[in-house]
């Protein structure tokens, strides 16, 4: 089963949830704004089998918004970053970070606005809340880990950044996720 949620930064902390099951779909909450994502997130018939790579059409994810998908039993964030979010991620002195990693290394060159990460907090595995926290990225409500707009740990107990899975762009607006993010 694929589960997707959509966070709309412009609408505060509102969250819409979609549940897609193989061969059937049901929506919970905020259906009007998230139905368009169904067709874009539904896997091709060839990718329905468990563990297969998945392709996602990103074209309807607005700037500043993110979606969450469940793939191979684990959640992943796909975020369309604003210019200000990218700048904030790159203005940091990497040497000061707990898990030093440049933003450039965590995204694909030429597609800098797209950040794709695992969605389990690297502390004890909760799923952080998007567009929250002291650094504008994510806040994990379980024990207060704050991640920045590159998914890097900035404050709180999480030891490492949100890992980036293996993926590639098959077009300007479409990605193919092929490998799980490494475990922290």
For binding to ligand FES (CB under 6 A), which residues are involved? 121, 123-126, 140, 142-145, 156-158
Shortest Cβ 118–ligand FES spacing (Å): 12
Shortest Cβ 143–ligand FES spacing (Å): 3
Give me 134's structure tokens: 């002291």
Residue 118 in 3-state DSSP? Answer: strand
Shortest Cβ 148–ligand FES spacing (Å): 15
- Please give the Cα distance from 68 to 163 (Å, whole number): 14
Residue 145 in 3-state DSSP? Answer: strand
Select 34 or 140, whichever has its Cβ closest to ligand FES: 140
Q: Report in angstroms the alpha-carbon separations of 23 from 2, 20, 26, 55, 68.
A: 11, 8, 11, 17, 20
Shortest Cβ 43–ligand FES spacing (Å): 29
SS3 content of the chain, % helix, strand, coil (to 5): 15, 35, 45
Select 123 or 167, whichever has its Cβ closest to ligand FES: 123
Select 30 or 141, whichever has its Cβ closest to ligand FES: 141
Select 152 or 167, whichever has its Cβ closest to ligand FES: 152
φ, ψ for residue 31, nearest 5 deg: -60, -35
Has 8 been annotated as catalytic? no
Catalytic residue among 111, 123, 143, 146: 143
Residue with tokens 């589960």: 3
Distance between first and last Cα of the chain? 24
Question: So which residues are the catalytic ones?
Answer: 143
């Amino acid at each position: 089963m694929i589960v997707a949620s959509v966070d709309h930064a412009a609408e505060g902390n509102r969250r819409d949830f979609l549940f897609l099951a193989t061969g059937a779909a049901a929506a919970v909450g905020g259906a009007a704004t998230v139905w368009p994502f169904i067709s874009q997130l539904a896997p091709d018939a060839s990718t329905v089998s468990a563990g297969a790579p998945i392709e996602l059409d990103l074209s309807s994810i607005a700037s500043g918004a993110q979606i969450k998908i469940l793939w191979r039993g684990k959640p992943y964030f796909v975020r369309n970053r604003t210019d200000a979010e990218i700048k904030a991620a790159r203005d940091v002195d990497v040497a000061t970070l707990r898990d030093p990693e440049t933003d450039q290394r965590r995204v694909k060159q030429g597609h800098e606005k797209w950040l794709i990460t695992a969605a389990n907090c690297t502390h004890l595995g909760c799923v952080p809340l998007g567009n929250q926290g002291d650094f504008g990225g994510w806040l994990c409500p379980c024990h207060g880990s704050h991640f920045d707009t590159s998914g890097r740990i900035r404050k709180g107990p999480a030891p490492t950044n949100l890992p980036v899975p293996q993926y590639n762009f098959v077009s300007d607006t479409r990605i193919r996720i092929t490998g799980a993010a490494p475990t922290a």
